Amino acid sequence: MTYRYRIALIFLIGFFIDCINIFMSAIALPDIARELQVSESSITWVANGYILGITLVIPVSNWLSSLFGARLTIMASMLIFSFGAFFSGISDHLSLLVLSRIIQGLGGGLLIPVGQALTLNLFKKHERARISTLVMTVALIAPAISPSTGGAIVDHFSWRWVFLSNIPLSLAVAVLALLWIRPEKIIVRRPDLKGLLLISLSVATLLLGLSLYADSAAKHIPLGLVMLGIFCAQLYWKHYRNKQDPILDLSMLNNSRMRLSVMVYHAVPGVFTGVNLLSIFYLQRVLGWSAGQSGLLMVLYAVAAFFAILTCGRLYNRTGAMPLFFTGIVLHAAGIALLSLVGQAHLSSLLLLVAAYLLMGAGGGVVANTAQTTAMLDFEDESLARASTIWNLNRQLSLSIGAAVFTFIFNLLQQQTTTTSAYHITFLIAAALGLLPLLRLSQLSRHQESPCSPEGN
């Protein structure tokens, strides 16, 4: 195996670990909520805590890599991840579990941008569609096997093993990083600590406010947290414009391909994360499905997405991003809309669920693969590292925001109508929001879509 494919393998395994931690933990949330005796909105912090940890560390990942080198950074990330996974598995209180998940996310978040930038720099532009296809294939294998595997673990053992089972794989990545990654020249950059503080406060307070709103007796507290998050984001924007080397280089978003890909990722993978989380609770708590049964639906999602990604990989250089984005967005929204029709009737509900997850999988596969390729197409070397930070931060934020926003909408609707109706209306809202990027597809002109064209600003 050549050096560049060894590096790609380390990144892909790390990416796989990241994906299974989102989907395996989601399938276990109803059981965790029941054992720890907490509400649906509170238990989402088991997932949000992990994503929050990743989100907080991604902006500083490039600085840490420049300080310690990619090899040591990736090794440390997997050791921290293993530490967090262990304490997640032995936690008896929600607060300790969430803290452990944040630590786990801090570890996982170091590997993804560093590994991605290291990998993409070893492949030329015309070869990146192939790497993106490999990345998305891994992103499909994870949701294909992790929910059903996690469901089986929950049904036959305990939700605790959902977290503990990750440790051998993360330790294996640490060993591979030690053996395979070559030492490189270290160029230490001065960290933007003020920028890091503002970004961290913005993300943490926004997610905390959205998650606490439904269960809070004093609504002004979560609303205040949301406003604080928005205020911190505005402060970072002013700080960024006056900082020579900001920790998060927002100028990467001046690139039209990156900007549209960021928006599309929120509308499809981000929306799906929230929809799938609610679907799991709906199936298990309203329709009486087991964790294993509800986890099997992700196999359908992954199969459809796998074939969509293979097709997308072959068509991208011929058709460009625009028709692929359009097709994927429409298919994904149609699948979500079908979820609003699922009721108590077993056979018809099963057929609707099969159709819904196949459509969401096909649409999600096309969009995720197209966005991954399109977002990074115009960047090289140093700009690629900064673009990778933006892209991976957005990827994690979209997943976390998707879960928080649609749980928030569901909880508001549940106060006004029946539980079943609240689920159905939330699914319809999600389908409508998922179509919004269609209004911006015209940003991709034919010239800008060419993989070999210069930066499309």
Q: Tell me the average pLDDT across 201-209.
A: 80
Enter the tokens of residue 160: 């605790």
On the question of pLDDT at 145 being above 90, the answer is: no
Q: So what's the pLDDT on residue 352?
A: 92
Q: So what's the pLDDT on residue 99?
A: 93
H/E segment holding residue 412: helix 381-414
- pLDDT band at residue 189 using 50, 70 and 90 as cut-offs: low
H/E segment holding residue 428: helix 419-434
133 dihedral zone (left: phi>0; alpha: psi -120 to 50; beta): alpha
Enter the tokens of residue 383: 């700009």
Contact 387, 395 (CB under 8 A): no
Q: So what's the pLDDT on residue 185?
A: 62
Burial annotation 389-426 (CB, 10 A radius, 16+ → b, else e):
bbbbbbbbbbbbbbbbbbbbbbbebbeeeeeeebbbbb
Q: So what's the pLDDT on residue 450?
A: 46
Choice between 369 and 362, residue whose per-residue pLDDT is larger: 362
On the question of pLDDT at 202 being above 80, the answer is: yes
Q: So what's the pLDDT on residue 345?
A: 66
User: Helix, strand, or coil here: 455?
Assistant: coil
Q: Tell me the average pLDDT across 89-115.
A: 89
C-alpha to C-alpha distance for 13 and 112, rounded to whole angstroms: 10
Enter the tokens of residue 213: 């709103």
Q: What percent of the chain has pLDDT over 70?
A: 89
Q: How many CB atoms lie within 10 A of CB 240?
A: 18
Flag the least confident range among 50-59, 74-83, 129-138, 271-280. Answer: 129-138
Enter the tokens of residue 354: 């099969």
C-alpha to C-alpha distance for 427 and 340, rounded to whole angstroms: 6
Q: Which amino acid is at 285?
A: R
Q: So what's the pLDDT on residue 214?
A: 61
Choice between 206 and 136, residue whose per-residue pLDDT is larger: 206
Q: So what's the pLDDT on residue 203?
A: 78
Choice between 427 and 139, residue whose per-residue pLDDT is larger: 427
Query: If you average pLDDT over every residue of the chain, what do you get?
Result: 83
On the question of pLDDT at 101 being above 80, the answer is: yes
Q: So what's the pLDDT on residue 372?
A: 79
Highest mean pLDDT among 27-31, 80-84, 244-248, 280-284: 80-84
Highest mean pLDDT among 29-38, 154-163, 355-364, 439-448: 355-364
Helix extents (H) in 242-345: 256-265, 271-281, 291-319, 321-339
Helix extents (H) in 91-166: 94-120, 128-156, 160-164
Q: Tell me the average pLDDT across 355-369.
A: 91
Q: How many CB atoms lie within 10 A of CB 254?
A: 10
Contact 87, 27 (CB under 8 A): no
On the question of pLDDT at 381 being above 70, the answer is: no
pLDDT digits (tens, 9 = 90+) for 403-457: 778 888 888 898 888 989 999 999 999 999 999 999 888 766 544 444 433 343 3
Q: At CB < 8 A and 24+ separation, what contacts does 287-292 make?
A: 287/342, 287/344, 287/349, 290/151, 290/155, 291/27, 291/28, 291/30, 291/31, 291/150, 291/151, 291/154, 291/155, 292/148, 292/151, 292/152, 292/154, 292/155
Helix, strand, coil % (nearest 5) of the chain? Answer: 85, 0, 15
Please, which residues have CB within 8 angstroms of residue 456's CB and are 6 or more apart in sequence?
A: 255, 256, 257, 378, 444, 445, 447, 448
Count helices and strands in the chain by DSSP H and E runs = 18, 0
Burial annotation 303-313 (CB, 10 A radius, 16+ → b, else e):
bbbbebbebbb
Q: At which residue do the structure tokens 């928030």 appear?
A: 408
Flag the least confident range among 120-129, 189-198, 409-418, 429-438. Answer: 120-129
Q: So what's the pLDDT on residue 211?
A: 67
Q: At which residue do the structure tokens 């294909």 appear?
A: 144
- Global confidence as pTM: 0.72
Q: Tell me the average pLDDT across 175-187.
A: 80
Flag the least confident range among 68-82, 137-151, 195-209. Answer: 137-151
Flag the least confident range among 156-165, 202-211, 438-447. Answer: 438-447
Enter the tokens of residue 119: 């990998």
Q: Tell me the average pLDDT across 50-77.
A: 82
Please state the φ and ψ torsions of residue 351, each to the nearest 5 degrees: -65, -40
Q: At which residue do the structure tokens 């909408």 appear?
A: 409
On the question of pLDDT at 65 being above 50, the answer is: yes
